[in-house]
Amino acid sequence: MFPSPSVWQASNPTQSALLVDLSTALIAHAWFRKYEPGSVESGLIRLAVFATAPVVTTFRTLPSPLVNVPLHLAIFISILLCSIVLYRLSPFHPLAKYPGPIFCKISKFWFAWIAHEGKTHLYFDELHKKYGPIVRIGKQFRLMPHKRDIHALVQVPTNCPQGMPKGPMWEGRYFAPGKKQRSGYSLISARDFTSHAKLRKPWNRAFGSTALKDYEEALIARGTQLVEILKGTIRDSQDGVGHADISKCISNWSFDFMGDAIFGENFDLMATNDKDGLVQALDDAHWFPTISQMVPWAWEFFTLFPAFTRSSGKFSKFAFQQAQKRGTKVTEKRDLFYHLAANMDIDDDKPPLPLIISNAILAMVAGSHTTSLVISSIMYHLLLHPEYLVRLQKELDTAFPPSEQSVIQLDKLANLELLEAIINEDLRLQPPVPTYLQRAPSPGSGGRLLKDIFIPEGTAVVVPPYAMHRDPRNFSPDPERFWPERWYTQSDRIILDRAAFIPFSHGPANCVGRPLAMQEMRYITSMLVYNFDFSLEDGYNLKQWGEDLADRFILIKGNLPVKVKRRNVARV
């Protein structure tokens, strides 16, 4: 495969060996550029094949092989790495004309480090402010397109030649190690158009208008339980003022509701105040996938080290146990598991249980954290701007006049202007998935042309909702300000680009659970605001909420200590 050392004409054996090191490293780099390995294992095997030339040359031409072979292997690797770095920084790289930080251009491991710190949303927001709407990060673009470009970028129907499927990050975003856990065919990680459409079908039915009625009983029951728990903190106090971490209370509520809605199972986190630490386990479970998604080819290599996978172990074990338990239980309860099982179109060669389990776990991960984040964030913004809390209470009192028999009716909440504006404004400022909506040209397509930008095959495009929602081209004035009026005020001075509002992604690959999530946000926010007066706990630093937010693909929140008083005008 490689030329004999005698072919190389040099003045001495050392120069001949160095020439082989240099030539083989450059050939290896050219090969790796064209055929990028999909895993550490395949990369090491191919690297070892190329390394045979320096090893054989050194062994045959130089004395002291035990010394010279490791030396020339090191030289070969060093030249290869230098060639890679110089090429990625050179004007010959296909993405060279696009600006970006040097470290971002050199290696994806830089992103993995940023992701480890949990501030990816802030980091890339600053990059866009510095470099503009297009930022190069390795073999990825980060775009903040205008509304005319959004559809072409993230729309992914099979009959749309401009659309692109999900990107390669999903090859490295898994909660549990092992190929067995990866074989679950989850909707969110399906990159093939056909597979995605097939998996999407039962989800559409599970969150259709008919199915939503099946979840209402659990939503109302759990919302009432949350109100009663907060009343209990007031009864236990001596001055009629309760004290609670409203963020944790909402997380416990969300986890319990997901247990009801997905598995028909009572997890009892509200009753026990999460004595087993399941919410924290779910928070911790997001750490490893956030890192591995940045370097998906290294996913299996990471799993060899317990320090990486330990954080997701507890929740993964719990989730699989619950899904398997529900999968073997015969029941007519019309939970999400029921709808998935009833509507899943399963190939004959694929066992049904892993398919249903992986999708049920997806709902648990996505459903519990995203809604609890948004509702907690809404409470933070209302406490930060108490004038909106008072106005929202008045709107709810008007819609549901307080009396002994007053009940908040789910079907009326979507018509409340201020409530809807507050939810939208919070979703704008703190979208649950703030950074990584990734698309890439289909394998074998040769690339995609997005207006005047050519996206080569193997290059991913990322649209960051957090940065887009704060771009003055899309939302103005004061895009950083919590200002719900922007959603219903008619004025030529206000820029409100609804096409750039993508907290649930966009197109056929958008968040299928949006109808249920919106129903949860409206109802729980209304129940809290309608029944209680809230204020921030003494000594709470207002900056703490933002500092505690961690971007783990979805935003992970911190604590929000509040004082709670009963509203005399409200009744449950």
- 538 CB burial (10 A radius; 0-12, 13-18, 19+): exposed
The reply, when asked if residue 511 is annotated as ligand binding, is yes
User: Contact, 259 vs 265, CB < 8 A?
Assistant: yes
Token pair 């004038």 is found at: 387
Question: In this structure, is the dihedral angle defined by the CA atoms of residues 395, 400, 406 and 409, taken in order, positive or negative?
Answer: negative
User: Contact, 566 vs 531, CB < 8 A?
Assistant: yes
Token pair 């991913």 is found at: 460
Residue among 284, 288, 352, 282 at smallest CA distance from 324:
352
- Distance CA(354)–CA(222), nearest Å, equals 29
DSSP code of residue 94: T
Indicate the pairing of strand 532-536 with strand 561-566.
antiparallel
**Structure token digits, residue 518:** 């919106």
CA angle, 181 as apex, 289 and 164 as ends, to 5°? 60
- 5 CB burial (10 A radius; 0-12, 13-18, 19+): buried
Token pair 């990816």 is found at: 120
DSSP code of residue 260: I
- Distance CA(264)–CA(252), nearest Å, equals 16
HSE value, Cβ hemisphere, 13 Å, CA-based, for 466: 24
Residue among 229, 212, 476 at smallest CA distance from 334:
212
DSSP code of residue 273: T
- Distance CA(179)–CA(183), nearest Å, equals 6
Residue among 315, 367, 304 at smallest CA distance from 337:
367
Q: Which residues contact 448 (CB under 8 A, 6 or more apart)?
A: 162, 164, 441, 454, 455
23 residue type, one letter? S
- 404 CB burial (10 A radius; 0-12, 13-18, 19+): exposed
- Distance CA(408)–CA(376), nearest Å, equals 20
Cα separation values, 296 from 111, 170, 172, 292, Å: 12, 7, 4, 6
**Structure token digits, residue 242:** 């309760």
Residue among 191, 133, 555 at smallest CA distance from 369:
555
User: Contact, 36 vs 90, CB < 8 A?
Assistant: no
Cα separation values, 369 from 283, 405, 419, 512, Å: 8, 32, 21, 15
DSSP code of residue 335: S
Binding residues: 511
Binding residues for heme: 511
